[in-house]
Amino acid sequence: MTTQDELRLLQRIAQGIEGLGPKPEPKIDIKSANAYIWDAEHKDLIPIQETHYIDLKLLKGLDDVCDTLLANTLQFAKGYSANNALLWGARGMGKSSLVKSIHAQINSEITGNPLNKLVLIEIHREDIKTMPQLLHALRGWVIRRFILFCDDLSFDDNDHTYKSLKTVLEGGIEGRPDHILFYATSNRRHLMPREMIENEHRSLSGSGAIHPDETAEEKISLSDRFGLWLGFHACSQETYLSIVEGYAKHYQLELSPTDLQQQALLWSTTRGSRSGRVAWQFIQDLAGRMGKRIR
């Protein structure tokens, strides 16, 4: 064997030994954007350069919850104490839209160093179990402030990923970092179906637990871990029409008030519901029929 052959053999051996060791974690990028999606498979953040949001003034019928969440988020953006928030209630009433709109509104008012702007990180419901890893990756990046956001969060029977969420909300032994908040939306106030809570209670009662009610609540009720509970309720006809009119005015869809209301009500009747989402779908249809494109 020549000296060159021996060098090649040693290189292959060295490469094989390196491959046996743990792979280095990817470098988390937290400077190139103000919004990201958590890639749980690769343990990385996907930057989103242009986020979709609705102008805050177009979100009608949400004054109380809007003021509360805006104040909480503004406190956080300024470096003060703030609470994790659970936005729960009726479908299509603007829960996720409010989070994204407030994020955009606050960032539009922050000038100077771009790293002072809030970062919104969306994490998919099925990736909740990896949240402790995301928290660990962000823990050292105190130069930015992060809101972790999960839309349509809920848990079903035999789903134990809620334990990961409890760890994140309570912070574990290290405590939750001051520069990270968690916002979630859900159709369920307690994030779990009522029958799941009742089944857990019956199971604990039969097991001889001393205080089954307290044990079931401690194990199942996640909502107590959120400092803010913001309820979103079904849309009245008046509020629905107000939302439609606000959109029509903003996007300059010229139609008489009577025709606009009649068409909007007919649209909601065919959908069997009234909500901010239904109003937006009507506006999209109306704009298309009028030969306009809106965002």
- Which pTM was predicted? 0.80
More confident residue, 129 or 224: 129
Percent of the chain at pLDDT > 90 equals 53
Give the pLDDT confidence of 250-259 residue by residue, as tens digits.
999 999 999 9
pLDDT in tens, 34-85: 999 999 999 999 999 888 889 999 998 898 999 999 999 999 999 999 999 9
pLDDT tens-digit profile of 144-164?
Answer: 999 999 998 877 766 666 666
Res. 237 pLDDT band, cuts 50 70 90: very high
* Composition of the chain by helix, strand, coil, percent to 5: 50, 10, 40
CB atoms within 10 A of CB 226: 19
Instruction: Please name which of 88, 90, 85 lies closest in space to residue 68, comparing C-alpha atoms.
Output: 85
Q: What is the pLDDT confidence band of residue 12, given thresholds at 50, 70 and 90? A: confident
User: Is pLDDT of 216 > 60?
Assistant: no
* DSSP 8-class letter at 131: H
Average pLDDT over residues 101-108: 96
Q: What gap in Å lies between CA 40 and CA 131, rounded to an integer?
A: 9
What is the model's pLDDT at position 50?
87
DSSP 140: T
Has residue 86 got a pLDDT over 70?
yes
Identify the pLDDT of residue 23.
Answer: 47
- Tens of pLDDT along 87-102? 999 889 999 999 999 9
What average pLDDT is seen over the chain? 83
* 204 — pLDDT class (breaks 50, 70, 90): very low
Local structure of 279: helix, strand or coil: helix
Q: How far apart are CA 136 and CA 83, in angstroms?
A: 19
DSSP assignment of 38-95: EETTTTEEEE-SS-----GGG-TT-HHHHHHHHHHHHHHHTT-----EEEEESTTSSH
Output the six-digit token pair for 35. Answer: 């919004």
Residue 88's pLDDT is: 93
